[in-house]
Structure 1
Amino acid sequence: MFDYDSELARYQERLWGALDIRPGDHVLDVGCGTGLTTRDAARAASSGSALGIDVSGPMLARARRQAQAEVLHNVDFVQGDAQEHAFPPEHFTWAISRFGTMFFSDPVVAFANIGRGLRPGARFVQLVWQAADRQEWHTAIRAALSGGPASLMPAPADDAFALADPDDVAGVLTAAGFTAVDVVDVREPVRYGPDAERARAAVLQLRMAKDRVSGLDAASAERALDRLSVTLDAHGSDDGVWFDSRAWLVSARRS
């Protein structure tokens, strides 16, 4: 299983810096993955609660095991799609998401559904990726696996960048019933592993890499993987393999 917590450690800090969760709060974590953000929220909301929702059963199984190991009694996880899940009405005082809101089939419907679970005035703070061409991790890895400049490749149809336009994000949230929308440019590197060898193993767990390599014959796949190793090695440093990236930190209030 890909370690998104390690990859996104710098963004975890930026998200947490934008929050002010108090002991009595009730927090909804959308697209919680293995639950790091949910568990952090549960610790901050010590007399309240935190609920993480995600579509991935294996990730949620890990989240539950870790919460049990950390003896957190005010955290829970549910498998489901936040676009249609029946949240308790006007229950949560915060909604948060670390790159977990870009994959909805209908963002307006999804954000309106999340909003119904929030108390009036509650804040919704999320991180979403900016455009694909602003992500060095995306362009460099695609170029390595494809054997050519990323600018010459077809544009990716990737839901990860579905909220890359800040005006669209603001419009979607407003249409879903949110106010005071604020979109801030955030730039942090992402980490794929302590060295090139382990970074390669991590990258090959990602869909963009698996899909590309699986479509190649054996000789072409070997050349692609060699190019990937060279690229990862070039991005190595004393504390790991890093690529530049950019995101939007989006905050809004439930009306």
Structure 2
Amino acid sequence: MATIVNTAQAQAWNGYEGEHWAAHHDRYDAVNSGFNRPVLDAAQLGDHDRVLDIGCGNGQLTRLAGRAARHAVGVDLSEPMLARARSTATAEGLRNVTFERGDVQVHPFPPGSFDAAVSRFAVMFFSDPVAAFTNVARALRPGGRLAFVTMKDLRGTDLGTVMAALAPHLPGWQPSTTPNPAPDRPSPTLSQPSPAPGQPSPTPDRSGPLSLSDPDHIRDVLTRAGFRNITVTHVEAIANWGENASAAAAFFSDWGPVRHNLADADPAPARAALEAAFRPFETGSAVRLRSTAWLVRADRL
């Protein structure tokens, strides 16, 4: 049985959240797939490489890595998404791709068993990022490569515009703390919980959608975990949210964090606000938003 220490995320991803992502894997991949190539290019995969996909979700990045390398292993907390990942890999005839349930922070990877590790919007939700990246470093051979994307602040982005339209329907929500729905690891709620009176504000080490949004903090975490040659680069991609504004609003409303936060709100005006916010992004037969992220590249010591 897998050892799980990140219990809050495990609960979310083995409930509604994971089931929704597994059932709508094609829709989520349409939102996220623009970041696949930047990650894979940064990882510099070769024919003989063994690759670890951290927080693999439905497995699209894992499968792409498997096509570029000797073998790829995807690890995730979510049984529904792992089932989808295995099913799709089998349907595509990929025999060099495998999937394991595990908490990357403590998963017993054989030391030095991978040449590269990749991730698409999963690493922000480690409960202890230094411990998790230290475990990843241990799983990599000396000089092994790490490449991942993590979210940036949404202010000034297309998705930030959509989220701002939803704000009046979510009392207490702060745009600057909104997670990016594009990542494969959204938070169970739309914003970080506020500290109790007299308690300190959340620190950068706190897990959550913005936990790795500060480049200096990223460098500090990775350095402490045993990485060097760390680069943090702004990247952009186009996210396809649906065939029209109505479809995009419906899909967005069913995304776990939005659905959770709208539970006590009137859904009709919230849905209307979302549809109006998506409408300016309709282009031909799709709703296309510009997504932004930090692309991080590092080498194991």
Is this a same-fold pair by TM over 0.5?
yes
**191, 199, 209: which one aligns with 1:160:** 209
Q: What is the CA–CA distance in structure 2 between the aligned matches of 1:165 and 1:204, rounded to whole Å?
A: 28
Aligned to 2:274: 228
Q: Deviations over 1:184-230 (max 9, x none)?
A: 111223221121222122212323321231121xxx32111111111
**188, 193, 200: which one aligns with 2:242:** 193
Q: Conserved in 2, the CA contact under 8 Å of 1:132 and 1:161?
A: no
Q: What is the CA–CA distance in structure 1 between the aligned matches of 2:158 and 2:213, rounded to whole Å?
A: 15
Q: Give the deviation of 1:149 after TM superposition.
A: 11
**252, 261, 275: which one aligns with 1:212:** 261
Q: Which amino acid aligns with 1:34?
A: N
1:31-42 aligned at under 5 Å gives the runs 31-42=55-66
> Number of aligned pairs?
249
Q: Larger deviation: 240-249 or 78-87?
A: 240-249
SS at match of 1:4: helix
SS at match of 1:188: strand
Q: Larger deviation: 10-19 or 26-35?
A: 10-19
Aligned to 2:46: 22
Q: Give the deviation of 1:41 after TM superposition.
A: 1.0
**144, 150, 163: which one aligns with 1:128:** 150
Q: Give the deviation of 1:80 after TM superposition.
A: 1.5
**147, 152, 157: which one aligns with 2:168:** 147
Alignment CA distance shift 1:54-1:134 (3 Å):
farther
Q: What is the CA–CA distance in structure 1 between the aligned matches of 2:233 and 2:167, rounded to whole Å?
A: 33
Unaligned 5+ residue runs, structure 1?
none
SS at match of 1:189: strand
1:36-115 aligned at under 5 Å gives the runs 36-45=60-69, 48-115=70-137
Aligned to 2:10: none
Alignment CA distance shift 1:192-1:108 (3 Å):
same
Q: Conserved in 2, the CA contact under 8 Å of 1:83 and 1:104?
A: yes
Q: Which amino acid aligns with 1:111?
A: F
SS at match of 1:162: coil
Q: Give the deviation of 1:17 after TM superposition.
A: 2.8
Q: Larger deviation: 228-237 or 140-149?
A: 140-149
SS at match of 1:251: strand
Alignment CA distance shift 1:189-1:161 (3 Å):
farther
Q: What is the CA–CA distance in structure 2 between the aligned matches of 1:25 and 1:17, rounded to whole Å?
A: 14
Q: Conserved in 2, the CA contact under 8 Å of 1:15 and 1:127?
A: yes
Q: Deviations over 1:65-123 (max 9, x none)?
A: 01101111111101111011111111100000011111001110000011110000000
Aligned to 2:31: 7
Q: Which amino acid aligns with 1:21?
A: L
Alignment CA distance shift 1:225-1:149 (3 Å):
closer
2:284 is the alignment partner of 1:238:
yes
**TM-score, scaled to structure 2:** 0.77
Unaligned 5+ residue runs, structure 2?
1-19, 22-26, 178-190, 193-207
Q: What is the CA–CA distance in structure 2 between the aligned matches of 1:134 and 1:62, rounded to whole Å?
A: 34
Q: Which amino acid aligns with 1:223?
A: P
Q: Conserved in 2, the CA contact under 8 Å of 1:125 and 1:249?
A: yes
Q: Conserved in 1, the CA contact under 8 Å of 2:121 and 2:148?
A: yes
Q: Larger deviation: 55-64 or 141-150?
A: 141-150
Q: What is the CA–CA distance in structure 2 between the aligned matches of 1:6 and 1:38, rounded to whole Å?
A: 16
SS at match of 2:118: strand
Q: What is the CA–CA distance in structure 1 between the aligned matches of 2:34 and 2:114, rounded to whole Å?
A: 26
Q: Conserved in 1, the CA contact under 8 Å of 2:253 and 2:271?
A: no
Q: Which amino acid aligns with 1:145?
A: L
Q: Give the deviation of 1:154 after TM superposition.
A: 6.5
Q: Give the deviation of 1:153 after TM superposition.
A: 3.8
Q: Conserved in 2, the CA contact under 8 Å of 1:39 and 1:72?
A: yes
RMSD: 2.1
